[in-house]
Chain A
Amino acid sequence: MEASVRDELLRLFGSKLTREMVLNLETCSRCGLCTPACHAYASLSQPRYAPAYRAEVVRRVYKRHFTAQGRLLPALGEAKPLTDAALEELREAAYSCTGCRRCMVCCPFGVDTQQILSIAKLLLVGAQAEPEILAMLADVSIAKGENIDALKAGFLEGVKRLEAKVVERWRVQAGATPIPTEVEGADMLYVALAGAHSIIPAAAVFNAAGENWSLSFFEAVNFGAFVGDPAKTRRILDRIVHEARRLGVKEVCICECGTAVRVAKQLSGGQPFRVVSLTEVHARYLREGRIRVKKLPGSFTYHDPCQIARNGGVYDEPRLILGSIVEDFREMSPDPRYNWCCGGGGGLVAMGEETLDFRMRSSRVKADQMRESGADVVVTACENCHTQLDNINTHYGLGKDVKFLSSLLAEALTDR
């Protein structure tokens, strides 16, 4: 590694050293409680997947370059210089972690390994060694934001084609638009994903609840966050923030995409609108009696998306929804705070076939949990989780159905 590159990477490293980060880097007592907490370790029993080991890959570079002891006596405390080999270790550590933070809730000190690994991802971005697919997807999102005026017409045509399917689920009053867009003064801006499955059921439920809403031109997912690039994360999020401010909405509702929910909630900053997940909005409609539902047959379990539940605190709302629409609900984990990650977060699902083998091998514990639930249908509220659970279902031959919570709620709508 050239000295100028290393210096720039160390500058990036230094930019991440907030007080909180330094506490995370200097607190680990090597007790090992995090080790069995990681689904990858629990499934594969390989030390490199122990969260403390992954964090140690970053910590050693920190010790070598940012502590007096590491600079003067690097052999003590196993300090390690930032080299090409170290960068490769950082890549392995960063992209075998899904950022689920199950290790953090099992750590007696609450050491945030995911946050430590955000240093690794930033260094990979600085070295232009980040996963090509994720960087490409982030660039596409940014280009979309820069050219949205030229692209709007195409999007509106695509949305128009979905309207009949929305009305099939829930009729709208004569003259009303089943999928409204560009509604200035709407109460809610709904930010979906590119696929029809992310728009149709949500639109039907909004219309059933009599919501004054508007569909965003942008997709909710933030690939800048997956790739760990703070500048791109901000630019992708700002497209939505600017649209919400322009329309003057009171609330921004993020679709069933865990990362999108976490990023929008945690990074939007002080705004004249609040950010909520689709699951929270749906639970509110049920609490307020704004929609009527019927019970669906079959047995159901729920997979808590880590970014919405463990990292976002949304545990009760999906259970309220399922309690309203199914007769037979079976918890997947005795304590939802410790539900296993699906194994597909952190950008792994978005990397597609490239990560499929690791994703399947490292999710054996999730497959066991799905099987042992005894439910016919596994429900979730995150696109990434849905794809991964579907892959697990096929790979392990579980014979389940995997469904989105919003689709199930739209199915349960009734006017009686």
Chain B
Amino acid sequence: MSAMEFAKEIDLRNLPCPMPVVKISKGIKEVAVGQVVKAVTTDPGALTDFPAWAKTSGHQILETEEAGGEVSFFIKRLK
């Protein structure tokens, strides 16, 4: 279990396409610049979608953690 602190957790489990990216895109705007969001997903595609989204939107994935078939992304809002 990651010890990383986060300001908001977003549940993206079992969502239809393209809701994981849509919801993380909206959710990151709900924390202040510099704060971290934890996004939990069951999507295998998220492992490529989220890094690509972070690159185009200018945010930073600090850590990725896998546990029990779920993947958590810790994403820092940079702008």
Are the CB atoms of B71 and A158 closer together than 8 Å?
yes
Sample of 12 more A-B contacts, CB < 8 Å, known A154-B51, A196-B14: A136-B21, A140-B49, A140-B56, A143-B56, A147-B52, A154-B47, A155-B48, A194-B43, A194-B46, A196-B44, A197-B16, A219-B49
B-side residues, CB < 8 A to A, are 14-23, 25, 42-49, 51-53, 55-57, 64, 66, 69, 71
A383 contacts chain B at the CB level, 8 A cutoff: yes
Chain A residues whose C-beta falls within 8 Å of the C-beta of B64 in the assembled complex: 154
Are the CB atoms of B17 and A144 closer together than 8 Å?
no
Nearest-CB residue, chain A, relative to B44:
A158
Are the CB atoms of B45 and A155 closer together than 8 Å?
yes
A300 contacts chain B at the CB level, 8 A cutoff: no
Are the CB atoms of B22 and A194 closer together than 8 Å?
no
Residue in A136, A162, A194, A350 with the greatest tally of chain B CB atoms within 10 Å: A194
Chain B residues whose C-beta falls within 8 Å of the C-beta of A356 in the assembled complex: none
What are some 7 contacts across the A-B interface (CB < 8 A)? A137-B21, A137-B22, A150-B51, A154-B51, A161-B69, A198-B17, A352-B19
From B16, B51, B56, contact of A136 by CB (8 A): B56
A195 contacts chain B at the CB level, 8 A cutoff: yes
A-side residues, CB < 8 A to B, are 133, 136-137, 139-141, 143-144, 147-148, 150-152, 154-155, 157-159, 161-162, 192-199, 217, 219, 221, 223, 257, 350, 352, 383, 386-387
Are the CB atoms of B43 and A195 closer together than 8 Å?
yes
User: In the complex, how many angstroms separate the beta carbon of B32 from the nearest chain A beta carbon?
Assistant: 21
Are the CB atoms of B52 and A199 closer together than 8 Å?
no
Chain A residues whose C-beta falls within 8 Å of the C-beta of B48 in the assembled complex: 144, 148, 151-152, 154-155, 217
Are the CB atoms of A352 and B22 closer together than 8 Å?
yes
> In whole angstroms, how far apart are the Cα atoms of A158 and B69 in the complex?
9
Are the CB atoms of A140 and B53 closer together than 8 Å?
yes
> In whole angstroms, how far apart are the Cα atoms of A152 and B44 in the complex?
11
A-B residue pairs, 7 tightest by C-beta: A194-B45, A158-B44, A154-B47, A144-B52, A143-B52, A151-B48, A193-B17
Chain B residues whose C-beta falls within 8 Å of the C-beta of A148 in the assembled complex: 48
Are the CB atoms of A133 and B44 closer together than 8 Å?
no
Chain A residues whose C-beta falls within 8 Å of the C-beta of B51 in the assembled complex: 147, 150-151, 154
